[in-house]
Structure 1
Amino acid sequence: MTKPPEVAVLGSINMDLVSVTTRRPEPGETVLGTGFSLVPGGKGANQALAARRSGARVRFLGAVGSDLFAPPLRQVLTEAGVDTARLRSLPGPSGVASIVVDADGENTIIVTPGANGGFDGLDADDLACVAAADILLCQLEIPVDTVTAAARRARAAGTVVLLNPSPARALPAELWRDVDVAVVNSGEARSLGGVLESVPHVVVTRGAQGADYRGPEGRSHVPSPRVEVVDTTGAGDAFTGALAAAWHRGPERALAWACAAGALATTRLGASSSIPDARRIGRLLGDTTSESNR
């Protein structure tokens, strides 16, 4: 049995306030909800959970606040087996996401960064964590300067840098130079345009249609398994975290694994609570080797 890869996830962690309704309101309109739940989330934390449940060893670098949400946010990671030694506490509120999910499983999200916005600067232990990992997985719900510094250290140490540039924005050229793998949805791909041409490996997610891949050996498309959709919140994060955990298996197998993880994540309500483990992903793919990734 090979040693599972180590993934350092640098990113956000939020408490998701999820409201369920038959349809999302129009501007100025009030609609009645049919359900409500508090679900730990944030792109960074979701991707960390996805990588861990796919079998990787995961260390999380991020920040929570000093409010009532901080303890359960930390707990959900530690209970999943994610190393939270580099999860710092900052004065003030933790990050919060207000999410409305309609009867079709589509969502609208407002993110208030809280402590995520104050995650400035990486100390020597943070940088050592990045350098020791096989893969550094980042997003853009924390300050870009922090992501850039981590990617620079990862590049110097030979750590693969996987960036999910979401929400899409202009990024410094020095960050793009250090990115090995970019994971974007179709809208982000259009927004970023030619910037992605410098990235060796580019994955474009297309929801129920699967994902496209472009790399040194050419292009390919991987379809997504068909499932009954309940809530699409966090599906992209499940995809990206699973991709990072399986990247050592090669792009083609990693994309198939990630597409299955993303599909399964839509079958349950909530982000972190819907992320599948390696056993469920393997069953969906008919992959009898999935247990070896755990």
Structure 2
Amino acid sequence: MDLVVRQPRLPKPGETMFGSGYSTVPGGKGLNQAVAAARQGGAVDFMGAVGNDANGTELRGVLALHGIGARGLADVPEPTGTAHISVLDSGENSIVVVSGANATVTALDAEQEATIAQARFLVMQCELPVSALVAGIRIARANRVFTVLTPAPVLPLPEGFVGSVDLVVPNQIEATELTGEADPVRAAELLSAHRTWAIVTLGAGGCVLAFDGTVVGLAPARPVKAVDTTAAGDTFVGALVARLAAFGLPLELSAAAISEERMIDAVRWATVASSISVTRAGATSSMPSLAEVAAILA
């Protein structure tokens, strides 16, 4: 659950300041990406954990509202995870995540493994323990499921972990943390080595797209007046995967199965979806429908 405070700037250490608004909004990177994909026409199943509390009940309701399957979502004694978000008047944000129930997902049960095996795409974030992500990749690889990783929050990852996924989508800060490279082009080249797709998102600067160590191109952002950038990156990922899924790709997917033309098309689609989301407040509440994106790209 996102706990959002609107404020003019970030406080200095030890400073108390006034904010101009407070709200609670269903969120979490996984939920955000699931809702974004569902709103773009994707058929989505969700895995993770929530607490036996009011926040958990509300989040389950969000999944049901969007027709997202929840058979892989566990109820646990720990409280539902929260994200504490400061949204500045400029539209920028900073986020502190308290994992709660998510931290209990250290392995996958049979139901979750079956859900992955039957999927076309597995979309992961680092809000679950790394051991669960490793298990998810193992099941996906065995069943030729295309794997997507949003490496946020950035955590220490096993050697070769990023190279084992088909697509990695960090923002510029995350890309720098993972590679040590401040230049997003060079970071994208490093992240895409070993026949991996990499998309480094740059906010208003667009994104860098690379495959197998070579930059494919730099996609510009769609200029808009930003109100709230919360979940802009999650909207991008959800819309991107939904667009890729709509292409009718081969049953057995890998990074090499996605052509440059199709990935560029999906990036264009995701860029528009993300640009719409930042013109609205909130996370899941800001995400556009398939019709809204299609109308702009028509």
The count of corresponding residues between Structure 1 and Structure 2 is: 272
In structure 1, the residue matched to 2:258 is none
Within 5 Å, which residues of 2 pair with 1:99-118? 99-118=85-104
TM-superposition CA deviations, 1:109-160 (whole Å, max 9, x none): 1111000111121111111110111100001011000011011110110100
Whether contact under 8 Å (2:150, 2:168) holds in the other structure is: yes
Query: Once superposed, what is the RMSD of the aligned Cα atoms?
Result: 1.5
> Which of 197, 200, 215 is 2:211 aligned to?
215
In structure 1, the residue matched to 2:184 is none
Which runs of no fewer than 5 residues in structure 2 stay unpaired? 180-189, 248-261
Whether contact under 8 Å (1:148, 1:174) holds in the other structure is: no
Within 5 Å, which residues of 2 pair with 1:127-276? 127-173=113-159, 175-193=161-179, 194=190, 196-215=192-211, 219-248=216-245, 249=247, 250-276=262-288
Aligned partner of residue 110 in structure 1, secondary structure: strand
Deviation at 1:61, TM superposition (A): 0.4
Tell me the distance in 2 between the aligned counterparts of 1:176 and 1:99: 27
TM-superposition CA deviations, 1:239-290 (whole Å, max 9, x none): 011111112441011000111111111111111111111111112223xxxx
Tell me the distance in 1 between the aligned counterparts of 2:30 and 2:73: 11
Whether contact under 8 Å (1:179, 1:199) holds in the other structure is: no
Q: Note if 1:93 corresponds to 2:89.
A: no
Q: Which has more strand, going by share of residues?
A: 1
Q: TM-score, normalising length from structure 1? A: 0.88
Aligned partner of residue 25 in structure 1, secondary structure: coil
In structure 2, the residue matched to 1:18 is 4
Tell me the distance in 2 between the aligned counterparts of 1:270 and 1:199: 35
Which runs of no fewer than 5 residues in structure 1 stay unpaired? 1-14, 287-294
Change (3 A) 1:75 1:32: same
Whether contact under 8 Å (1:176, 1:199) holds in the other structure is: no
Aligned partner of residue 64 in structure 1, secondary structure: strand
Aligned partner of residue 198 in structure 1, secondary structure: coil
Deviation at 1:195, TM superposition (A): 5.2
Does 109-118 or 276-285 show the bigger shift? 276-285
In structure 1, the residue matched to 2:38 is 52
Does 161-170 or 140-149 show the bigger shift? 161-170
TM-superposition CA deviations, 1:139-184 (whole Å, max 9, x none): 1011000011011110110100011111123211353343011111
Q: TM-score, normalising length from structure 2? A: 0.87
Identity of aligned residues (%): 41
In structure 1, the residue matched to 2:24 is 38
